């Protein structure tokens, strides 16, 4: 009699949730992820184009659009609302003089004529053209895309170059031909919930045909830059948005507007609206179908297959070896005591030293705690990105999400660090506050030192990539007011939690480690090659996204690669720890950390290789220093995360191994 009402109640709750989900999905004319809501424009509505920072793969230093002598909007330059991630990535989104009317084609629109170029402006323009700087425009959150044809293939680029150098002359692209792809707004049925209880039903309401003027959504934004010579007499009395008196022929294969000192530059544009079959949810497909997509998928799939097979072999060999040793030692325990002492060898001889406290235990605890925090941040961020909540359509959300998750996971850093400290100290609470503070400051302090040094270089270069002082203060406050207290809270919880009991006792006098045939640290450094093999192909695409301006979007594959990396790091550390114990080397704590953490060394070497061979056009010591500085910051975070995986797996293995056998 009691179970039936419970079932009915559960079924009612299920129906309510189903109705709620249906209502939410219908009210927005379809469900869209955060940062990607559609905008409907009526015919004649104004579309305002925005400008982002000038970027170049030659210097990696972004600059403000209005640092060059371009036309400024009539209402003045205004910053658009930016999130924390956009500011950290160097994006500076501002309004522009380019203004369209929905579904209204316009040609020969005059923008402005600059003042005669001063010597400083002339030299700066030439420098930016030599450094291959690109102009980045945004319409309805879509970056301007440019198509070029090369050897029968169409290449896609975001933005367009400031200008081009032909022989000894410099030409600026002063006429832009815009193409805006639009899709007719499709009115969908709006669901309403009527009734209550079991009588709740969905009733769809449809608007009458012709009750509203047709609306359109922007599904594409293309640009063709041209260099056109404008006569000084033709632009003498023109105002902004006036029609140029003569037809303008936009031919991207020819250039005509050579820049000269003490001479002005005139800017014009045209816009053409084209109705497209592309639907709004698919409008980012053109940006994601960059060159090498097939190679990208094939390479990652091939890498996953090879590494999965290799990890399986390592796991099988490891399990068989450990099982055989356990069986042999159990049989030895059944023999006479004298005979057993003669035949015992390997890891069972270090039973009284295997849990001896390592050198610098507080530092190890802090590094493991920070590694848990970094690893958790990476997994959660990539998971959210794979689900689409941090899509390229929402600029800056990836960095913002990483900062948010990192601060929140400070609880886990303090908890793991302090609980490991109490385990090493056999349950003693003394010193847990100091360990919590070290976990709260160690990695963030290193990161702050690196980023501050690089920020001074960016400030000196007047780049928009420099973090503003106000934002710098905000980051410090977020660290001190959120991350540090949460880490201390986690440390308090770790101090209250029971420590892990060792299965064996430790002698007061340490056992001598026999001479080794080979340096143990050499084996530790070599162990990083296997984890590096799981991600070096994916690493190429990540580096290309960071430094070549390409859009990275396969977060599902990245999540799989990351999970596989964690598994391989655990296996490598387990095998190496077992090998050290077999040769009676009981100092496994730090070696297990760096066995998997040494993958960061190979990632840094790969970064140097990428700088030399793929970013060979990178000019200037400042650009190279910035690249190496950010690479160092990245590999340190990877070392903490992978080293933590290796250490925790080895700790579990050693604890399980010595608690699974009968010891006299």
Is the per-residue pLDDT at 81 higher than 70? no
The answer to whether 541 and 552 have CB atoms below 8 angstroms apart is yes
Q: What global pTM score does this model have?
A: 0.83
Give the pLDDT confidence score for residue 411 in this predicted structure.
96
Is the per-residue pLDDT at 558 higher than 90? no
Contacts of 25 (CB under 8 A, 6+ apart): 31
Check residues 174 and 150 and name the one with the higher pLDDT: 174
Give the pLDDT confidence score for residue 306 in this predicted structure.
61
CA distance 133 to 126: 11
Give the pLDDT confidence score for residue 329 in this predicted structure.
60
Is the per-residue pLDDT at 133 higher than 90? yes
Give the pLDDT confidence score for residue 285 in this predicted structure.
79
Q: What is the average per-residue pLDDT within 492-518?
A: 85
Q: What is residue 222's three-state secondary structure? A: strand
**pLDDT digits 0-9 by tens, 463-484:** 988 888 888 899 999 999 999 9
Is the per-residue pLDDT at 156 higher than 60? yes
Q: In the structure, what pLDDT confidence band is assigned to residue 169 with cuts at 50, 70 and 90?
A: very high
Is the per-residue pLDDT at 559 higher than 70? yes
Give the pLDDT confidence score for residue 258 in this predicted structure.
92
**Would you say the C-alpha torsion 517, 519, 522, 523 has a positive or negative sign?**
positive
Is the per-residue pLDDT at 590 higher than 60? yes
Q: In the structure, what pLDDT confidence band is assigned to residue 541 with cuts at 50, 70 and 90?
A: confident
Give the pLDDT confidence score for residue 504 in this predicted structure.
85
Question: How is the chain split into domains, by residue range?
Answer: 45-187+215-287, 290-328+536-607+637-663, 358-502
The answer to whether 226 and 176 have CB atoms below 8 angstroms apart is yes
Give the pLDDT confidence score for residue 36 in this predicted structure.
55
Q: What is the average per-residue pLDDT within 623-627?
A: 90
Averaged pLDDT score across all residues of the chain: 82
Count of CA atoms in the C-beta half-sphere (13 A) of 142:
30
Give the pLDDT confidence score for residue 428 in this predicted structure.
76
**pLDDT digits 0-9 by tens, 430-458:** 889 999 999 999 999 999 999 999 999 99
Give the pLDDT confidence score for residue 663 in this predicted structure.
53
Lookup: tokens for 329: 């030692």
Is the per-residue pLDDT at 115 higher than 80? yes
Percent of the chain with pLDDT over 70: 81
Give the pLDDT confidence score for residue 386 in this predicted structure.
86
Q: What are phi and psi of 170, to 5 degrees?
A: -110, 130
Q: Which of 33-37, 206-210, 266-270, 518-522 has the highest mean pLDDT?
A: 266-270
**pLDDT digits 0-9 by tens, 294-317:** 555 665 676 677 667 767 767 776
The answer to whether 99 and 59 have CB atoms below 8 angstroms apart is no
What is the DSSP track for 125-181? HHHHHHTT-EE-EEETTEEPEEEEEETTEEEEEESEESEEEETTEEEE--EEEEEEE
Torsion, Cα of 135, 139, 140, 143 (10° steps): -40
Is the per-residue pLDDT at 164 higher than 90? yes
Percent of the chain with pLDDT over 90: 44
Give the pLDDT confidence score for residue 521 in this predicted structure.
82
Measured at the alpha carbon of residue 17, what is the angle toward residues 12 and 19, in degrees to the nearest 5?
Answer: 95
The answer to whether 269 and 178 have CB atoms below 8 angstroms apart is yes
Q: In the structure, what pLDDT confidence band is assigned to residue 546 with cuts at 50, 70 and 90?
A: confident
Q: In the structure, what pLDDT confidence band is assigned to residue 193 with cuts at 50, 70 and 90?
A: very low
Q: Which of 168-182, 187-201, 350-364, 497-511 has the highest mean pLDDT?
A: 168-182
**pLDDT digits 0-9 by tens, 1-12:** 334 444 334 444
Q: What is the average per-residue pLDDT within 562-582?
A: 87
Give the pLDDT confidence score for residue 195 in this predicted structure.
40
Give the pLDDT confidence score for residue 22 in this predicted structure.
38
């Amino acid at each position: 009699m009691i179970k039936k009402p419970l079932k009915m109640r559960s079924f009612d709750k299920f129906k309510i949730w189903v109705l709620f989900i249906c209502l939410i999905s219908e009210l927005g004319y379809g469900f869209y992820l955060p940062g990607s809501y559609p905008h409907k424009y009526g015919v004649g509505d104004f579309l305002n184009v925005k400008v982002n920072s000038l970027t170049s793969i030659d210097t990696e230093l972004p600059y403000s659009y209005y640092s060059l002598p371009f036309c400024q909007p009539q209402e003045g330059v205004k910053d658009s609302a930016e999130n924390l991630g956009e500011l950290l990535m160097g994006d500076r989104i501002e309004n522009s003089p380019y203004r369209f009317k929905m579904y209204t084609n316009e040609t020969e629109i005059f923008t402005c004529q600059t003042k005669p170029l001063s010597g400083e402006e002339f030299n700066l323009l030439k420098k930016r053209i030599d450094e291959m700087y690109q102009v980045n425009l945004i319409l309805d959150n879509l970056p301007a895309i440019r198509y070029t044809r090369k050897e029968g293939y169409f290449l896609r680029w975001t933005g367009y170059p400031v200008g081009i150098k032909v022989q000894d002359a410099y030409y600026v692209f002063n006429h832009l031909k815009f193409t805006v792809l639009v899709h007719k707004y499709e009115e969908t049925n709006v669901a309403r919930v009527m009734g209550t209880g079991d009588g709740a039903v969905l009733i769809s309401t449809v608007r009458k045909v012709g009750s509203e003027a047709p609306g359109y959504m922007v599904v594409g934004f293309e640009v063709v830059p041209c260099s056109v010579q404008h006569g000084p007499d033709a632009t003498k009395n023109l105002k902004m948005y006036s029609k140029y008196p003569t037809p303008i022929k936009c031919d991207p294969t020819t250039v005509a507007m050579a820049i000269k000192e003490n001479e002005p530059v005139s800017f014009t544009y045209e816009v053409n609206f084209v109705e497209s079959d592309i639907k709004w949810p698919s409008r980012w497909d053109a940006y994601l179908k960059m060159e090498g997509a097939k190679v990208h998928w094939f390479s990652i799939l091939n890498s996953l297959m090879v590494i999965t097979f290799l990890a399986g072999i390592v796991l099988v060999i490891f399990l068989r070896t450990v099982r055989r040793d356990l069986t042999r030692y159990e049989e030895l325990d059944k023999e006479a005591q004298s005979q057993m002492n003669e035949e015992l060898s390997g890891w069972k001889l270090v039973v009284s030293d295997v849990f001896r406290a390592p050198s610098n235990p507080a530092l190890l605890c802090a590094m493991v705690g920070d590694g848990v925090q970094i690893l958790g941040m990476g997994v959660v961020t990539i998971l959210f990105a794979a689900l689409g909540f941090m899509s390229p359509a929402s600029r800056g959300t990836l960095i913002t999400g990483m900062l948010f998750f990192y601060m929140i996971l400070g609880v886990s850093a303090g908890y793991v660090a302090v609980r490991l400290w109490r385990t090493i100290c056999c349950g003693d609470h003394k010193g847990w506050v100091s360990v919590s503070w070290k976990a709260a400051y160690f990695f963030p302090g290193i990161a702050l030192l690196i980023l501050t040094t690089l920020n001074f270089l960016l400030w000196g270069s007047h780049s928009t990539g420099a973090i503003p002082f106000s934002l710098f203060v905000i980051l410090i406050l977020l660290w001190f007011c959120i991350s540090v207290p949460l880490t201390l809270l986690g440390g308090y919880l770790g101090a209250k939690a029971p420590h892990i009991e060792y299965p064996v006792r430790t002698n007061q006098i340490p056992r001598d480690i026999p001479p080794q045939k080979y340096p143990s640290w050499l084996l530790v450094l070599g162990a990083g090659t296997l984890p590096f093999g799981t991600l070096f192909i994916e690493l190429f695409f990540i580096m290309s996204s960071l430094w070549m301006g390409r859009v990275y979007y396969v977060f599902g594959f990245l999540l799989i690669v990351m999970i596989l990396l964690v598994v391989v790091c655990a296996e490598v550390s387990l095998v190496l720890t077992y090998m050290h114990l077999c040769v009676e080397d009981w100092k496994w704590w730090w070696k297990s950390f760096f066995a998997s953490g040494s993958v960061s060394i190979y990632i840094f070497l790969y970064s140097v290789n990428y700088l030399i061979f793929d970013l060979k056009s990178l000019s200037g010591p400042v650009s190279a220093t910035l690249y190496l500085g950010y690479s160092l910051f990245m590999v340190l975070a990877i070392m903490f995360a992978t080293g933590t995986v290796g250490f925790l797996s080895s700790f579990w293995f050693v604890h399980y191994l010595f608690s699974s056998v009968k010891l006299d």
